[in-house]
Structures are given as C-alpha cells and as structure tokens.
Structure 1
Amino acid sequence: MASFDIVNKINSQEIDNTVNNTIKEVNSRYDFRGLHTEVIFNKKDNTIHLVAGDNMKMNALKEMLTRNAIKRGLSPKVLDFKPLEGTSKGHVKMEIIVKEGIDRDTAKGIVKEIKELKLKVQPAIQDNQVRVTGKKIDDLQAVINHLKSLDLDVPLQFVNMK
C-alpha cells in the first residue's frame, strides 16, 4: 500500500529570517526614523508581536512582513493577523499567530474533498495531519493534484510518499 501525509509545517528559522529582514527594512526606511517600532518573534509561542506609532505605520509594517515572508518562500496564509489594539503610550500593537499544522475542521474538509473524488484511497486524520493510503500511486497523485487546485486557508505540503 502506498501512502503520503498532508501537513502544514513551518520552518521557524525562515520565520526568524523574515522578522530579521523586516527589522532591517524598518531601520533603513526614512518614514520610520525616530518612531517607536517593534517586531518580535516568540519561537516558543509561534507568535510575532508588532508595535507601531499609528495605523498607517502598522499597515506598512504588515505589508513589509508579508512581502518578506513571500521572499523567504513562506505562504502568507501562515500569518494569522489578530485585531489592532491600542497601547497606553498612544501606539498600536498587533499579535500575529504563525499557523502550523492542520486544524480539525480543515482536516475534515480535506477528507471530504478526497472522498468526493471517488478514488480508491483512504484518508485518515492523525493529530494535525492527514494520511492518505491507496494501492495505486496514480490515485494518490490525482488526490495531490486536486488538493493543490483548492484554495484552503492553510498551505499544504505533501510528504512521506511511500
């Protein structure tokens, strides 16, 4: 039986590089000089903390972060932007959660999509990934091609093809 896993894995080093590139860009931009701006990546919690002077600077910061993530080969879908909040010093702050793994609802949707193909494959949800098994590799490749064509809220990687 052939099988593969559908996962959403993030390289935390690439997120760290994205944050560092954003910090370099903020330090080199004239419109951010002299303003209080923070970009902090918490590896333990997989979150990015942003602080900017006002809404316009926060939007520019989000755009820089997203652009640098794309340059590093990361999908912007992994960045979950939380609502804007005010700080006591008149600045604005935002938390960004880096989504890793496939949540239960998305996994159920993936399994449903696979079953609608009417191929002889068996999808199974395992923790934060989906394993697909089947006798024919052609059927597994058809599943991969179909899932690549879908627009899901998380980026998918297909690993452990056996």
Structure 2
Amino acid sequence: MPSFDIVSEVDAVEVKNSVDNANRELSTRFDFRNVEASFELKELVVTLKAEAEFQLQQMEDILRSAMVKRSVDPKAIKVDEKDIHTGKTFSRNIRFQQGIEQVLSKKIVKMIKDKKMKVQASIQGEKLRVTGKKRDDLQGVMAMLKAAELEQPLQFNNFRD
C-alpha cells in the first residue's frame, strides 16, 4: 500500500552557511561600523548580539535574507519574545524548528479527514505517515498541504509505492 511521510526539517549545513553569510554582510555594512554585533550558531539556535535593540531587528532582517538566498524557509524560525539585556549589549535568540509539534500534527490530520480523501494519516512522534490505496490520493494530499498556509514548512519524503 503506497505511503509517504510528512516531516519538517531544516538543513543544518545551510543554516550554518546562512549565518556565516550574515556575519560577512554585517562586517561590510556601513551602519554596523565600529559596533560590536555578531551572529552565533549553537545547535540550531542563532544568538544575535548588538549594542542597541533596533540593531537586533536589522540583524534579524539580514539573517532572513541570507536564509532565503540559501533556500532555508524563513517559516522554520521561531524568535524568542524577550530580548536579553546584559551590560551594554542586547541579545536575541532565534530557534529553528525540527519536527512537527503535536498541535500542528493534529491540525494536519483534521485537515486530511475533513477533505474526505481515502487515506489514513497517523502521527508518529515528530512526523506523520499518510497511507492510501491509490498513489493519486496521496498526491492530492500533498497538493492540499502545499496550498494550505501552515505556520511551519513541510517536506514529503519516504514515498513508497
């Protein structure tokens, strides 16, 4: 019976490359001359550090544009609500989401069931498995999920016929 998995993953190498590109762009920008500002990446958490709060927003925009250039979906990031102020520096953490959260998984399963397609969707940890009798039904589910505006990017892999 044909099946495929719905996952939400971020390529860690591309994230590292986009952070490196953002650091390079930061060193060439005129408005960041003689300013202590940097991007640091540790375990898919990027820490932005700058001397002023408005510079953090500019740095976030720089990082987003670098991510788009490296084909990393900007919907995969989650920005911490509070900025951290220590001494003369401000910092902000940006996390990259790996896996589909339980709430979103249930929402996707409900969307599939509401369409009354002849497929079954099951939650398996941080991914979903969709099975059906016909390959066309599975491709219909893929098209429906691509068209849906979800808060997290989805990839489809492990397609078995």
TM-score bin, normalised by smaller chain: over 0.9
2:4 corresponds to: 4
Dislocated runs of 4+, deviation >4 Å: none
Please, what TM-score do these two structures have when normalized by structure 2?
Answer: 0.96
Deviations 1:31-79 (A, max 9, x none): 1111111200002xx2111111112211110000001111111111111
* CA RMSD, 1 decimal: 1.0
The answer to which of 49-58 and 93-102 deviates more is 49-58
Which one-letter code corresponds to 2:10 in the other structure?
I
Q: For 2:38 and 2:24, locate their aligned partners in 1 and report how far apart those are by CA, in whole Å.
A: 12
Shift of 1:86: 4.0
1:141-156 equivalences in 2 (<5 Å): 141-156=139-154
Letter in 2 for 1:111: V
Instruction: Show the counterpart of 1:54.
Output: 52
Residue pair 1:37, 1:52 contacting (<8 A) in 2 also: yes
1:160 aligned to 151, 158, 161, which one?
A: 158
Q: Which runs of 5 or more structure 1 residues have no equivalent in the other structure?
A: none
Provide the TM-score with structure 1 as the length reference. Answer: 0.95
Q: Which runs of 5+ in 2 are unaligned?
A: none
Worse-matched range after superposition: 110-119 or 75-84 = 75-84
**Residue identity opposite 2:69 in structure 1:** K
Residue equivalent to 1:71: 69
Q: Is the 8 A contact 1:84 1:93 kept in 2?
A: no
Distance in 2 (CA, whole Å) between partners of 1:85 and 1:29 is 23
Instruction: State how many pairs are aligned.
Output: 160
Which stretch of structure 1 is more off in the superposition, 50-59 or 97-106?
A: 50-59
Letter in 2 for 1:117: K
Matched-pair identity in %: 35
Give runs of aligned pairs for residues 1-162 of structure 1, distance below 5 A. 1-43=1-43, 46-162=44-160
Deviations 1:102-158 (A, max 9, x none): 000000000000111111100000010000000000100111000011111110001
SS at match of 1:87: strand
